[in-house]
Structure 1
């Protein structure tokens, strides 16, 4: 292995305290707080609304079809649309995404046709994977998005490895890797964070914390006050973001991706939904 430079020290007082803070833009009344408003372009805000609305409608239709037995399995992101949509709007076209269950919609934002997306759900003749993959395990090479694995968490080390390769090649790519709150109890999570902290690759690792690991609540699997503190314990810059605030997610991930692209190492984000 190449000699590893000492990673930068994680500041003790970051923009968002990893244990208690929560970065938000939208207030409870739906208006943007002046102190945190990232002033995103109107086009970005419009695209965020358009794709969140699209996913809410598509989820409702696909869940109905799954209940009718016409679709084998479907992983909805209802109520969590702001995380994948915000992340997709924050990165560049040549960046890579290693998704978990609920981030497939990023492919639509990044240019995959809706018909191609739906064909993968059905596994029909229009499916890029020719029906060989399990339902809702979508991927698309043209948008640099890799299918998730039903073995929870094992794609996160792959994301870090891809980021290490991008760093070695110097091609300016950033890799996003996703995991659910339950996946943080898997060994793969700790392996990924160890390598990310040690080798400082250009990646952003995002934990979608919806407070249910299928049927397990957070206090049944961890004594940590938040999931963000787990990243900080490894020496990785970490923050908590309101995962239901698409403006906050877009801004937080864009900042993290920009840092990674500048060679400032990885970021771990707990998206609280």
Structure 2
């Protein structure tokens, strides 16, 4: 069966420039509503991917997201949120983007077309067979990401992917493919829109579920979050208050002494 990039098909909406703002936001919202339903269809694939990632990370491995353009930036965003939210080392979950750091804020010409550079970028980070690589590409055809996954597999590294077309070359290169078909974009080919939203939802599922599997959440609380501002100190203090049944100032002092909710509670239990 021939591979068709649905993400590049013409928008079902015409003459966008003639729409009122009300019409624009209504139509955009209606399109956005379809994304969670498309993700729902892929839940069995997402579950398998998360279990495989968790197994590797529980054994001491790291997680790498690899992408280009919007897809790469979404991977970097998800990776960068793990340390402050869950108190894990910054190197545990890493985002790798075609073109390097410059590509985070501006386009780097032709960076995504290099089939060999993705694996080279991972080698610079000391990739081993203990780690896991997830390639992200809305089209499922980005050479940088496909080449990276193919090289990873040849070197004994397990791989997954998030693509927004069915039957893509990227999915064929992944051990655990996730394919979410969200359909044509409101602005033809602008995959930062529905495709990007689908990728973000799936990345949320991956990082949240994996961190829970790693024991970084208790009940429904971020007990290992970094205390990087007053809002988080206040949130953590209230968690300690609730857990230990003590007053605010005592809870805050205990939290600041031990630098995390979990350590504060554990230390109080040792007294």
Which range, TM-score by smaller chain? 0.3 to 0.5
Q: Which has the larger radius of gyration?
A: 2
What TM-score, normalized to structure 1? 0.32
What TM-score, normalized to structure 2? 0.32
More helix by share: 2
